[in-house]
Amino acid sequence: MASFAQKYLIGAGTLLFSFVNFVACGSQLYQVSVRDDLDVSRVRQANPQYNDPESTLYGIHASSGWGSLPISFKLGTDMDYNQKQELLAAMQKWEWATGKSLFEFQGTHSDTKGDSFKDLFSSLGDEVNGHYIDADWNKTSKPTYVLATTIWNNTNSYSQIATADIRFNSQHYVIGDSLLVESEADKQVVDMQSLAIHELGHLLGLAHVDEEIDPVSVMNPSLFIGEGLTSRKLSRSDIVRIQTIYGCEGDACDIDALIEQQEHAEAGELSLTAKQWLDYGEKTPISH
Ligand SMILES: [Zn+2]
């Protein structure tokens, strides 16, 4: 199995009050400073402390999270079964870290896929929180090396998220379970679950975390890609940060126990609910 390790750029965009605002991310590979590359003006309006490592709000862009939970979502018609499985596993990871039901499946987004939208931000124009695979990534106006991007609308408070979409770059990468899928001539494998954990972190209100602050955070602005390479474990600081926004329930409130559990866990089994979502989405194309 070819193992090709590189850290690649992960993009994050935000749309506030219908004002298009692109937040780019840095990467080690391209030696781009996250601070210099980030449009800090709007993130700072939401949370002035997001970039202060001494603050408990470091690495958080929307400290109020979503107004109500769970967050309903739909999947684009272009997402294959394996990608759906890995996306749901990523959602479960954040639910495990909070002990809360954060997400609720609303079916396949009828007749709609990433390429149905004319550009990146037009997918935010509907009331659907969608996850899409973009075969035509050029249309997003993002650089080719950006793996995926999360875009969102805030409510009338900059610290609260109203709607969000995630777009995955399948024009330039093979996106799926990196333990199963293989690279193609000009496309490297990117682990769907690892990438989705990061993008869902943005969707839930997390910003980037510098490698110098926490080298194993899933919110580092870069990701190792290649066959067999994964980054699916939340760091302690990731768990603390998500609980800063959403609190915790039950067993999730014991962070030491969570870390211990994660160290010894086998590859995660999807919950019964997630399995039902997966089968529902696959077997029953619905429109609403
Ligand atoms: Zn990012």
State the distance from the centre of ligand 1 to the C-alpha of 24, rounded, in angstroms: 8
Domain assignment present for 3: no
Range of the domain at 165: 35-219+234-281
State the distance from the centre of ligand 1 to the C-alpha of 206, rounded, in angstroms: 9
State the distance from the centre of ligand 1 to the C-alpha of 284, rounded, in angstroms: 32
State the distance from the centre of ligand 1 to the C-alpha of 207, rounded, in angstroms: 7
**How many folded domains does the chain comprise?**
1
State the distance from the centre of ligand 1 to the C-alpha of 32, rounded, in angstroms: 13
State the distance from the centre of ligand 1 to the C-alpha of 35, rounded, in angstroms: 13
Residues with CB under 5 A from ligand 1 (ion): 10, 12, 25
Res 278: pLDDT? 74
Res 125: pLDDT? 85
Domain assignment present for 161: yes
Domain assignment present for 229: no
State the distance from the centre of ligand 1 to the C-alpha of 136, rounded, in angstroms: 20
State the distance from the centre of ligand 1 to the C-alpha of 250, rounded, in angstroms: 29
State the distance from the centre of ligand 1 to the C-alpha of 272, rounded, in angstroms: 29
Domain assignment present for 191: yes
State the distance from the centre of ligand 1 to the C-alpha of 283, rounded, in angstroms: 32
Give me the CATH number covering residue 160: 3.40.390.10
State the distance from the centre of ligand 1 to the C-alpha of 191, rounded, in angstroms: 15
Domain assignment present for 255: yes
Domain assignment present for 189: yes
Domain assignment present for 139: yes
pLDDT tens digits along 220-263: 888 888 888 888 999 999 999 999 999 999 999 999 999 998 88
Chunk the chain into consecutive blocks of 10 residues (it has 288) and report each block's average pLDDT, rounded to whole numbers: 51 42 34 34 79 94 94 94 94 96 92 88 89 93 86 87 93 93 90 94 92 92 85 94 98 94 73 73 45
State the distance from the centre of ligand 1 to the C-alpha of 256, rounded, in angstroms: 26
Res 4: pLDDT? 43
State the distance from the centre of ligand 1 to the C-alpha of 287, rounded, in angstroms: 31
Res 33: pLDDT? 27
State the distance from the centre of ligand 1 to the C-alpha of 9, rounded, in angstroms: 8
Res 11: pLDDT? 59
SS3 assignment for the chain: CCCCCEEEECEEEEEECCEEEEECCCCCCCCCCHHHHCCHHHHHHHCCCCCCCCCCCCCECCCCEECCCCEEEEECCCCCHHHHHHHHHHHHHHHHHHCCCCEEEEEECCCCCHHHCCCCHHHHHCCCCEEEEECCHHHHCCCCCCCEEEEEEECCCCCEEEEEEEEEECCCEEEECCCCCCCECCEEEEEHHHHHHHHHHHHHCECCCCCCCCCCCCCCCEEEECCCCCCCCCCHHHHHHHHHHHCCCHHHHCHHHHHHHHHHCCCCCCCHHHHHHHHHHHHCCCCC
Res 156: pLDDT? 84
pLDDT tens digits along 78-91: 999 999 999 999 99
Domain assignment present for 269: yes
State the distance from the centre of ligand 1 to the C-alpha of 132, rounded, in angstroms: 16
State the distance from the centre of ligand 1 to the C-alpha of 117, rounded, in angstroms: 22
